[in-house]
Amino acid sequence: MTKWRRKSRWKIKGKGRLKTPQSKREPVFRRPFAIISRPNTRHLPFPTIMTAKPAKRPVNGVLLLDKPEGLSSNTALQKARRLYNAEKAGHTGVLDPLATGLLPVCFGEATKFAQYLLDADKAYTATLKLGEASSTGDAEGEIIATARADISLAEFQTACQALTGNIRQVPPMFSALKHEGKPLYEYARKGIVIERKPRDITIYAIDITEFNAPKAVIDVRCSKGTYIRTLSEDIAKHIGTFAHLTALRRTETAGFTIRESHTLEALAELNETERDALLLPCDVLVRHFPKIELNDRAVTMLKCGQHPQFIEDISANQPIRVYDHRGAFVGLAEYQKEIGRLKALRLMNTAKD
């Protein structure tokens, strides 16, 4: 009598070899399942379970960030972006890794108006070490030359006064300015020196807050494009010695002050609602421009690329802040006085509103 044996539904006739996939280039989940003799085999192509990342949020606004020392501006930006889980972000003005202080970060629609903050005046607190020249102009470089450091306060004051006002400044090699598509610091790291043209800048004031040679601390108010590293070297050069920066802190830009800023550590301790409450509206970036209010028809024309008629005593050929009759910020426009019409420059995207 033959003993009855239950057949496994996985058992196949013949030699029991696996079926060959149609193509090795096919994705695993599109290949035919291998037919084998045991159901508990490890060769079955079970799918891997992957956890999806949380969707980015459409965050709009401006964060006044207090950048810490040791981080590049872009690294600080990305850390802030992750804290807010924002779709889009950008900063308004680069700070060196050595520098700390005010770094306005723009989220979402605010990035459209970030360029207008780049042209703003700025203020810094700089700490100088007299008598030593650095390869980079700051404490991150190597000391390449030394000279006398017994500078008197009167000498230092005279040099600061000589460099106050409209001056010409040669940008340093260790800077983000580009030459043939590459930043200058890449050439500097290879020992290549590129000729740089001097640029017109304005030093509004240099206030000496501490002086104990070889250490000096100054508060500088200046125009855009000013390199404080170069300014410290020029001050020392006027005296007949060397100097480099040991600390730099941006304290103000476009009317925003360091007292209004927030650190990454403080932001990390807040919940989403509390962090969002710290954001400033997008129009703070252009608050220095004149303001007008339009009716709904004129606003619609601007958004459709048309030029609504506008007759008012206002300066022509400059950006104008546009608001609707409810007080909502629409964007920036330019008044073309010769034809008495407005032309859109940068508009808010209200499609998601």
Residues annotated as catalytic are 96
Q: Which helix (H) or strand (E) holds 264?
A: helix 264-268
In three-state secondary structure terms, 161 is helix
The amino acid occupying position 51 is T
Buried residues in 342-352 as b, exposed as e (16+ CB within 10 A): bebbbbbeeee
Residue 74's Cβ-count burial label (10 Å; 0-12, 13-18, 19+) is exposed
CA dihedral 163, 167, 170, 174 (to 10 degrees): 60
Q: Give Cα separations from 115 to 40, 110, 164, 210, 288 (angstroms).
A: 62, 10, 26, 34, 13
**Whole-angstrom distance, CA of residue 345 vs CA of residue 303:** 10
Selection from 236, 234, 202 nearest residue 221 by Cα: 202
Answer whether 156's CB lies under 8 Å from 135's CB: no
